[in-house]
Amino acid sequence: MGKFWSIFFIFWSIVAVVAVAISPAMGWWFPTAAESPLGEQIDDLFFLILYITTITFIGTQVAMGYVLWRGATNTDDRAEFSHGSHSLEVIWTIVPAFILLFIALYQIPVWEQFRIQSHFPQDAVNSPIAEVTARQFEWRIRYPAPGRVFKGKSDIERWLKQPEPGDLYTVNDLHVPSNKPVLIHLRSGDVQHSFFIPDLRVKQDAVPGMVIPVWFEASRSKAYEWVCAELCGWGHYKMKARVVAESDEDFKNYLHELELEQFDDGVPELADSSAAGEEEVSE
């Protein structure tokens, strides 16, 4: 039986490796390759770790299979009497230590770009696209009035604190310009949620009581799926939304359409141009 079990353990690890190897072809893999510059770097890091861990996995499983097979075929009267090897211990302490430290340090620049505010793309920071408020179970979006120019940090903070009459509102449908970094301010209206766009490899929790800036860049003009990744109650799975990345032109048009819609007074022939305008006059 010993030989059978040695093969059994080898066999499972082969199945595991094969399963991973065929996964991309079977569609059990990333929904798409990352479609943002940061996401591409994250993918690269993922593959780096994947290669290192695969080699380690194969190494340990082969070693395991080998020692089992040797044990199964061992015809000696007695097992080897050994309490270990100091030099082996040193080797298998130092080598993994270096590999692990390398992996850790190699990650830092990408993390810096994504989360350390001083490394954020400044253009995006200076003109946030929208404020996204997660609530049970939807994403409420507030754009600044078209043409609203932010004068510095304090102005943005003021806008985040106090809505303005020209702000535009939507739900579950965030439009952003593609091919340039954009920044949203993420907050939660009730419990904790998480802003997750799989294709862009962006995830950030929305924490009650905090306003968290999140930046991302979509390299293509298309609609990206956007979901919630932190348990937020019974309807957690329902927070289905999309981020539409589009050209600057389309984005502006979209905001214009939104504005017309939002200031619609229900009178067909006049709905187009004038009605919305007066909203601002009072201010």
Partner 1 sequence: MSTTHPTHLDSVVGDAHHAEHHHELSFIKKYVFSTDHKMIGIQFLITTLLMLMVGGALALGVRWQLAFRWSTMPIVGEWLFSGEGGQISPEFYTMLFTMHATVMIFLVIIPILAGAFGNFLIPLMIGADDMAFPVLNMLSYWFMWPAILCFAFALGLGPESITGVIGGMNAGSAQGWTSYPVLSAIAESAPGSQMAQTWWLLAVTFVGFSSMMGSINYMTTIINMRAPGLTLFRMPLTIWAMFITAILQAFALPVLTAAGFMLVADRVLGTCFFIPSGVIVNNADPTTGGGQPLLWQHLFWFYSHPAVYIMLLPAMGMVSDMLSVMCRKPVFGYKPMVYSLAAIAGLGFIVWGHHMFTSGMNPALGMTFMISTMMIALPSAIKTFNWIGTIWGGKPQFNAVFLNCVAFVSLFVVGGLSGIFMAAVPVDIYFHDTYFIVAHFHYVLFGATLFGVFGAIQFWFPKMFGRMMNDTLGQIHFVLTFIGMNCTFFPMHMLGIAGMPRRYADPYLHPYLEHLLPMNQFMTISAMVMGFAQFILLFNFVYSIFCGEKCGRNPWNANTLEWTAPSPPGHGNFDIPPVCYRGPYEYSSPLAVDKDYLPQSEYIPRKPGEKPGDGQH
Partner 2 sequence: MNPRYLSQFLSKSSAGVATHIFSAFGTIVALCGFVGCDSKPIGSKFVLSERTEELISPARKRVQDQLTEDFGTPQDLVAWLRFPVDYGMHKGTIKDVEATDQGSYKFAVDWTDADAESLRIRRGAGLMMTSGDYAGTNVKVNHYAPESGRIHIDAFMNPAPAVGDELTVVGGKLQAGRMLYMEHCVHCHGTSGDGNGPTAKYLNPKPRDYRLGKFKFTTTKPLEKIATSDLKRTVKLGIPGTYMPSFMLLKDDELSAIVEYVRWLAIRGEMEARIVNELHGDYSTADVRERVKGGETNDEIEEELQTLFDEDFSETVDDLASGLAADWLRADEEPSLILPNVPRVPDSLESQERGKKLYLSGDTKCVSCHGPTGRGDGSSTEEFWDIPGSQPIQKYAVRGLHDDWGNPIKPRDLTRGIYRGGRRPIDIFCRIYAGIKGTQMPAFGGKTGPKDLKDEDIWDIVNYVLSIPYETDRAIHEPLSIPPLEQTTAATE
Interacting residues toward partner 2 by CB under 8 A:
27, 136-138, 140, 145-148, 158, 162-166, 169, 171-173, 234-235, 238-242, 252-253, 255-256, 259, 261-267, 270, 273-283
Complex with partner 1: residue 36 or 170, whichever CB lies closer: 36
For residue 145, the 8-state DSSP code is P
Residue 163: CB minimum distance to partner 1, A: 14
| Dist CA 255 CA 260 (whole Å) | 9
- Helix (H) and strand (E) counts in the chain: 7, 10
Q: Which residues contact 135 (CB under 8 A, 6 or more apart)?
A: 188, 189, 190, 193
Complex with partner 2: residue 220 or 242, whichever CB lies closer: 242
| Dist CA 76 CA 65 (whole Å) | 19
Write out the binding residues for partner 1, residues 7-36 only, by CB under 8 A. 9, 12-13, 15-16, 19-20, 23, 27-31
Alpha helices in the chain (DSSP H): 2-26, 37-72, 86-115, 122-126, 152-161, 248-262, 274-281
Q: Contact between 277 and partner 1 (CB under 8 A)?
A: no
Write out the binding residues for partner 1, residues 117-146 only, by CB under 8 A. 136
Residue 73: CB minimum distance to partner 1, A: 10
Complex with partner 1: residue 117 or 273, whichever CB lies closer: 117
Residue 34: CB minimum distance to partner 2, A: 22
Q: Contact between 233 and partner 1 (CB under 8 A)?
A: yes
Residue 96: CB minimum distance to partner 2, A: 38
One residue of 18, 21, 51, 60 binding partner 1 per CB under 8 A:
60
For residue 189, the 8-state DSSP code is S
One residue of 148, 153, 158, 238 binding partner 1 per CB under 8 A:
238
- CB count, 10 Å around CB of 112? 12
Q: Are 120 and 215 in contact (CB under 8 A)?
A: yes
**Kind and range of the H or E run holding 170:** strand 168-171
Q: Contact between 163 and partner 1 (CB under 8 A)?
A: no
Residue 165: CB minimum distance to partner 2, A: 6
For the record, the structure tokens of 213 come out as 């800036």
